[in-house]
Structure 1
């Protein structure tokens, strides 16, 4: 009788432990921080969102090119060293969707990102720095 009682008690304790250790129903992990981006040069712009991951920065948005323009993104570490960069090719008189990732393969990821609207020859026309939130 004691073995059945002990087994039953052990089963109840195990089930209770599993229930107490389980996450609440519907619980989700915290979202990665984001930053809104708006770099406007004349009628051209880069607008969208930066998503700050642990070892990269995601970019989603739009390049509006009036004339011929490029979008450029650079991720930097806390000491100011460039960790990675991405750019579009030259786009002329168009709205172009942006979706890319900038490498930032260091512990903690990028400390800041610089976003630029460039001319057709990749010369910066306007740049804005966005710090990690």
Structure 2
């Protein structure tokens, strides 16, 4: 994933969970992130603070201070993160072939008739956009 500084960064599962909290809440303290993570057992306050600090050093998040309280917010967009995760999955698991990813989804029980119609609609819309660019 690319931060605003143009550095490619990959998120761990815990970092992605923290980013989801920040995307949803826009801004949160360590305690608010800790509460929203809903892990079992709950993560220690110090663990959440460490994760946030490391993410800030990587350029994924930033903070502001108000009354000695740190308020964190995401620097990386949710769309950018999702694209990065999918791109990494396609590269690592499907040899760089998006068609293989789609084939695997269609071969699984995860795609019902409604989902299949939605996929067809998305493919048609993408084809139209791609045709216009040519």
Q: Place the TM-score, normalised by the shorter chain, in its bin.
A: under 0.3
The TM-score, its normalising length taken from structure 2, stands at 0.18
In proportion to residue count, which structure has more strand? 1
The TM-score, its normalising length taken from structure 1, stands at 0.18
Bigger radius of gyration among the two:
1
